[in-house]
Structure 1
C-alpha cells in the first residue's frame, strides 16, 4: 500500500475555526423541509425552469442549532434519487451520514437534480440554481453559513469545483472525486477555498492531468507552497498516494489523493473491504467546526 503524506507547517495543522453565522431559518419551525423531503422533491423555479432537490434532515433536528450543510451532487447520467438510495455505483449520500452522525455539529444533506442528468452549467445556470437552493433551505432551516460544503463524483465533482470557483469564501470546502475543470466551468475562481481532490491514475474518462489542473488552481488561490509533483502509486498496487500540501492559508488546506484505478466513485485499497473515499472526504470536511 503506497502512501505519501506531507504534513502542513507547524501551527497550520488545524484550520482556524470560523465564527458561527446562523442562517435566517434559525429559531423557526420549518415550513418547507420535512422528514419526507428525502423521498418527495422540493421544487423551485430557476432561470424559468422548474428544478428539484431533496433534503435529508438529521435525527432530532433542532431549529436552534446551526447545522453543517453538504451538497451531494450526482454524476452524468445519475440522479439525486440514486445518491439518496446508494444505487448506480454510489454510496448513499457518498457514505457521509454515518460519519457525520458522530459529529458534534449535525449535518443537513442537500441532494439536487441536474438538468439532463448532468451539470453543464450553461451560462452559470446551475450555480444560480444551487445559490437559490441555499437561500431556500437556509431560510427554512438552521444552518451555519460558515459550514457549507459540496462533494460529488465526475460531473458532480466538476460542479463542486465550479461552486468553489463561483461562491469563493461563501463555501467552506469541496471534495471533488474524479472531476474535470472544463465541463462545468469555473467563473471567477480567484478566491481561496479549502479543497480535497481525488483521482485515479488510469481514469480514461477524465484524465488525471485535468484533476491536477483543478487542484493547482486552489494551491495557488490558497497560497500553498510550490513543490514537485508527488509520485503516483505503482500500477497494479491498488494503493494510494495522499498529499497534504504545506504552506496553505491556515483555514484553506489542500489535500490530493491519487489512487491506482480508473473512473470510479468508490476506489478501494488492496485488502480493504470498503472504499476510502467517504473516510477521506469526511476527514477533510470534519476539521472545520
Structure 2
C-alpha cells in the first residue's frame, strides 16, 4: 500500500523516491548486464524469451520505469517490437510507446508459448516474475513504476496479472481485452490504476464490465460513462473516474470501432500514425512520478 511518509535511503550512493518509497533495485550503480535485443530465460524447465529495449543513453545511476507489452493471440513478440499488426507497418512499436518512452523507460516485449497466454500451471506468471527479477538484477529499475499494457488476449492476461501480481504493478493498460477472466476478478481489495480502451462494436459489454471491476477495486464513484454511437465516426470519449483511492485512477476510453489495437477517430481500422492510444497511454503512465 502506498503510504504518505517519505523514506530517504542511500544505495550505492543513489536514492530514488517514488510515492515516498525508495525504488532503486540491485542493478543500480552496476555495469549493465543486459542490452537491447532478445533475452532468454529458462522458466519451469521451458525456454522463454523476450525482447528488451533500453532507453537512449541508458544511465545505470537512474532508476527507470518498466513497461511490459503483451501481444495478442496468434502473434509473437516481434509484432510488439515492430508494430506490424497495424498500418502503416512498423509505425506502432511497443504499442506506439517507443517514440514517447525512448529516454525514460525500459520496454519489454514478452513472447508467449504457442502464441497465446494460456498460463498453464501459472507458467506465464512465473515468466513475468523471472523477467522482472532479471531486469531488477541487471539494470537500474524503479520497482514502483512497473506497468503492463496488452491487446486482446494480451489485454486479458494483463487483467490477470493486475490481480495475481498486483504488488509488482503500478498500473495496467488494457486494449480491447474483453471482460474479466479467471484470475482477474477476485482481488477487489487490491487497488490498481487502470486505463481501459475498448471499441463500442467489439463486445462493448466486456469492456464495461472490466472497467467496473477496477472502479470497484479502486473505490471510485460509479458513473455512466459516455460512449460514441457505433458507426457514427465520432471521436473517442475519455472518462476519468472521480473519487478513486488516492493514487489509483481509473480511465475509460470508448471509441467508435471494432477489435483494433491502434484505433483512430473517424477511421475504419488501425493506423499507427493517427491513433490516439499511445498519447493516452503515455499520459496515464507518466502521471505517476
TM range, smaller chain: 0.7 to 0.9
Q: Give the aligned partner of residue 156 of structure 2.
A: 158
1:64-97 CA-partner distances (Å, limit 9, x unpaired):
1000100011111111112111212271011112
Q: Give the aligned partner of residue 240 of structure 2.
A: 244
For 1:27 and 1:184, locate their aligned partners in 2 and report how far apart those are by CA, in whole Å.
40
For 1:63 and 1:144, locate their aligned partners in 2 and report how far apart those are by CA, in whole Å.
11
**SS in structure 1 at match of 2:67:** strand
List runs of 5+ in structure 1 lacking aligned partners: 1-15
1:179-229 CA-partner distances (Å, limit 9, x unpaired):
0345564275231110000000111xxx221122222121111111122x2
Q: Give the aligned partner of residue 212 of structure 1.
A: 208
Q: Find out whether 1:84 has 2:81 as its counterpart.
A: yes
Q: Give the aligned partner of residue 108 of structure 2.
A: 110
Q: Which has the higher relative contact order, 1 or 2, with Cα contacts under 8 A spaced 6 or more apart?
A: 1
Q: Give the aligned partner of residue 23 of structure 1.
A: 25
Q: Find out whether 1:53 has 2:50 as its counterpart.
A: yes
1:24–1:138 contact (8 Å) kept in structure 2: yes
List runs of 5+ in structure 2 lacking aligned partners: 1-17
Q: Find out whether 1:230 has 2:225 as its counterpart.
A: yes
TM-score, normalized by length of structure 1? 0.85
TM-score, normalized by length of structure 2? 0.85
**SS in structure 2 at match of 1:250:** coil
Q: Give the aligned partner of residue 134 of structure 2.
A: 136
For 2:256 and 2:240, locate their aligned partners in 1 and report how far apart those are by CA, in whole Å.
18
When the two chains are superposed, the root-mean-square deviation of aligned CA atoms in Å is 1.9
* Aligned residue among 140, 143, 152 for 1:145: 143
CA drift at 1:45: 1.5
1:121–1:185 contact (8 Å) kept in structure 2: no
**SS in structure 2 at match of 1:128:** helix
2:179–2:205 contact (8 Å) kept in structure 1: no
Q: Find out whether 1:196 has 2:192 as its counterpart.
A: no
Q: Give the aligned partner of residue 256 of structure 2.
A: 260
Residue-pair matches, total: 262
